Amino acid sequence: MRVCRVVGTVVATAKHPSYHGLTLLVCQPTDDEGRDVGDTFIAVDHSQAGVGDWVLVNQEGGGARLVFGAPLEDKLPIRSVVVGIVDRVDTGA
């Protein structure tokens, strides 16, 4: 799972059927204090997240299939899903 800042949205009308009706968010991985770490990637929203939100992203296809209710053997080509809105991250002593 990654903690990321939502820095944008992707609009695409021509999409694979599994992506219809889903919101695509541009996610910037961050450290526990919200500083950018590494490259952005695209995740499908499942928490009504918006630009600026700090979110929890699951980057594993099985999780995506679980979240979207597709039976595991169903064919869901989605890998990254926003599964939570982060309020705070407490690390260290």
Partner 1 sequence: MTPSIRSVSILVAVNLGRVIGTVVAERKYEGLEGLKLLVVQPVDEQEKDKGTPFVAVDTVRAGPGDVVILVGAREAALALDEAFVPVDAAIVGIVDSVDLDRRRQARAR
Interacting residues toward partner 1 by CB under 8 A: 7-16, 18-19, 24, 26, 28, 39-44, 51-52, 59, 61, 64, 75-80
Q: Which is nearer to partner 1, 24 or 86 (CB)?
A: 24
**Residue 23 CB, nearest approach to partner 1 (Å):** 12
Exposure of 45 by Cβ count < 10 A (0-12 exposed, 13-18 middle, 19+ buried)?
A: buried
**Residue 88 CB, nearest approach to partner 1 (Å):** 21
Q: Which is nearer to partner 1, 8 or 32 (CB)?
A: 8
Closest CA to 54 of 16, 86, 88: 86
**Residue 93 CB, nearest approach to partner 1 (Å):** 31
16 token code pair: 């694979």
Q: Give the N- to C-terminal CA distance of the chain in Å, as an integer.
A: 22
